[in-house]
Amino acid sequence: MIEVLKANGTPVRNLQTMLREINFFYNILPEVIVDGIFDEITKKAVMGFQKRFNLNETGEVDIITFEKIVEEYKRAINNENIS
Which domains, from first to last, does the chain contain? 10-77 (1.10.101)
DSSP state of 8: B
**What are the C-alpha distances in Å from 80 to residues 9, 33, 47, 66?**
29, 24, 23, 19
Confidence of residue 8 (pLDDT cuts 50, 70, 90): confident
Query: Contact, 38 vs 2, CB < 8 A?
Result: yes
Which residues have CB under 8 Å from 79's CB, separation 6+? none
What end-to-end distance do the CA atoms of the chain give, in Å? 23
d(CA 23, CA 68): 14
pTM: 0.86
Tell me what pLDDT residue 6 has. Answer: 55
Task: Of 28-32, 34-38, 62-66, give the lowest mean pLDDT range.
Answer: 28-32
